[in-house]
Amino acid sequence: MRRVLGLLFLGVVTAHAATHSPTLGARLALHGLGSIRACADCHGPQGQGRPHFAYPKLAGLGFTYLLGALRSFSDGRRLNGIMTPIARELTAEEMRAVATYYARFRPRPPHGVRPGERLRLARGRRYYDHGDMNDRLVACARCHGRRGQGMGRRFPWIAGQTEAYVKEQLRSFRAGSRRGPGIGLMRDAARPLDARQIDDIALYVSVLGAWPPLSIPIERLPMPPIVPRRTFVPPRRDAIPRTVFGRAVRRGRAIFDHTARYARPYVGNALSCSDCHLGEGREAQAGPLWAATVLFPRAYRGHMTTLAARIQAAFIQSENGRAPPLDGPVLTDLLAYAHWMSRGEVIGAHAPGRGYPPITKPGKGADAARGAALYVQRCAVCHGGRGEGARYNGRVVFPPVWGPLSFGQRASLAQTSVMAAFLKSTMPYADPGTLTSGAAYDLAAFLEARPRPP
């Protein structure tokens, strides 16, 4: 993947490099150093981002914010499959150099608005400027300013940030999977947001400061009624108690998010639980762990089963491995994590947000050939042209979607209807919900036709 990106951006990077002295920050940003990847591959030579790949703009963020972000990735307070391993290879001097380099640039104003998005912009502007107390939404402008240019060193510039990146970060804050310095203001602000509200806010942020300036009377457009969210919100990550039980919960979370690393004897592929149950199992409508926990014990395929038995089956069917013993530490810690995640939910409740929302199969049926073209357009950039996924420094960044290291034929996702529902609700990760039902079924048909373990 790095090689492809390097070829795509080589001309831009080379032209820019000629206008700046070869300082340490410029060398790292434009060319990388040793095994450290060039920052410009993802963020651009002047920090303007790569909007179609959901990579953020760094221009305008300032030295203090950029240095703090690198330190957070390096010491583990903030985790990201790409940035964390890169930051951990940087010395303190190199971090300061990169932050100094990108702090020089100001973000370029975005260009206009796509046709047919006035209503979305109206909603986005309302949420951004005023929030909505009925829905517990805090106005973004309170911290980031009415023009999105930040307020001091604590609240960063977000005006014109790429739409895909803003959506990805709001989803991560909402799920509790983004960590970093501060007192959790963004996690609290994002928790009440639903998917539509996130999309509308991200669109509005992406055009803040647009040139030519927005001329449509956004504030006068009609607003549809807002239905309060009823989706269960699991306890915050930082609320896990510092007790014997709390330590088991933290171990269970680590196993859930990095299964091959922490449950190696029972895993036969490169997948983790969180690859199918997104956001560490917190994300509504993405197979959340909390929604399943309260339904067990339950009838399943004609007989009673427990959550422990279903987890064991998942190791066999989805991880291509073997079942961890009922009284062993792996299953005990996973059950502790599941129990913690469901605290506050009603036992037996069929909670909104559970599983993946079912979708209607298209009348003409699924077309694997159309799905193959769609995979190249929307999926291959992350999961590879051969479905092999992507690794960085030995760690899986994007999981394989077929082949010997992906899930097997007995997994739930091996059913076309389940895979289509998963894709429609969760993918592409930075822009979920944008696939039509027909496209989701076409893509699912293509993926199900690929080779995978029995």
Rounded distance between C-alpha atoms, residue 165 and residue 171, angstroms: 10
395 pairs with which residues across the strands?
Answer: 392
pLDDT of residue 387: 92
> Would you place residue 334 in the very low, low, confident or very high pLDDT band (cuts 50, 70, 90)?
very high
Query: Does the N-terminal peptide bond of residue 45 adopt cis geometry, omega within 30 degrees of 0?
Result: no
Residue 404 has pLDDT above 70, yes or no: yes
pLDDT of residue 211: 54
Summarised one tens digit per residue, pLDDT across range 202-246 is: 999 988 876 555 554 444 444 444 444 457 888 887 789 999 999
Rounded distance between C-alpha atoms, residue 218 and residue 201, angstroms: 13
Q: Nearest 5 degrees, angle CA 213-CA 171-CA 313?
A: 155
Of 201, 297, 257, 290, which Cα lies nearest the Cα of 396? 257
| Across 106-123, average pLDDT | 75
Segment among 211-220, 263-272, 306-315, 427-436 with least mean pLDDT: 211-220
Q: Which two tokens mark 324?
A: 């961890």
Whole-angstrom CA distances from 36 to 70, 85, 392 are: 13, 9, 11
Task: Compute CA 424 distance to the chain's CA centroid, rounded to the nearest angstrom.
Answer: 15
> Would you place residue 52 in the very low, low, confident or very high pLDDT band (cuts 50, 70, 90)?
low
Residue 85 has pLDDT above 80, yes or no: yes
Structural domains of the chain, with CATH: 2-103 (1.10.760.10), 118-220 (1.10.760.10), 237-341 (1.10.760.10), 368-448 (1.10.760.10)
Q: What length does the chain have?
A: 454
Of 300, 261, 299, 255, which Cα lies nearest the Cα of 277? 255
Summarised one tens digit per residue, pLDDT across range 383-397 is: 888 999 877 557 777
Rounded distance between C-alpha atoms, residue 209 and residue 193, angstroms: 24
Segment among 31-35, 109-113, 245-249, 291-295 with least mean pLDDT: 109-113
Instruction: With beta carbons less than 8 A apart as the criterion, state whether 204 and 141 touch.
Output: no
| Across 71-90, average pLDDT | 86
- Which amino acid, residue 28? L
Rounded distance between C-alpha atoms, residue 357 and residue 439, angstroms: 15
pLDDT of residue 300: 82
Question: What kind and span of H or E run contains 122?
Answer: helix 118-130
| Across 123-142, average pLDDT | 78
Segment among 16-25, 207-216, 243-252 with least mean pLDDT: 16-25
Of 360, 374, 367, which Cα lies nearest the Cα of 445? 367
> Would you place residue 423 in the very low, low, confident or very high pLDDT band (cuts 50, 70, 90)?
very high
Average of per-residue pLDDT values in the chain:
82
pLDDT of residue 449: 94
CA gyration radius, the chain: 22
pLDDT of residue 442: 94
Would the pTM of this model clear 0.85, i.e. be above it?
no
Residue 8 has pLDDT above 80, yes or no: no
Selection from 43-47, 68-72, 174-178, 448-452 with the highest mean pLDDT: 448-452
Rounded distance between C-alpha atoms, residue 28 and residue 37, angstroms: 8
β pairing state of 298-300 and 390-392? unpaired
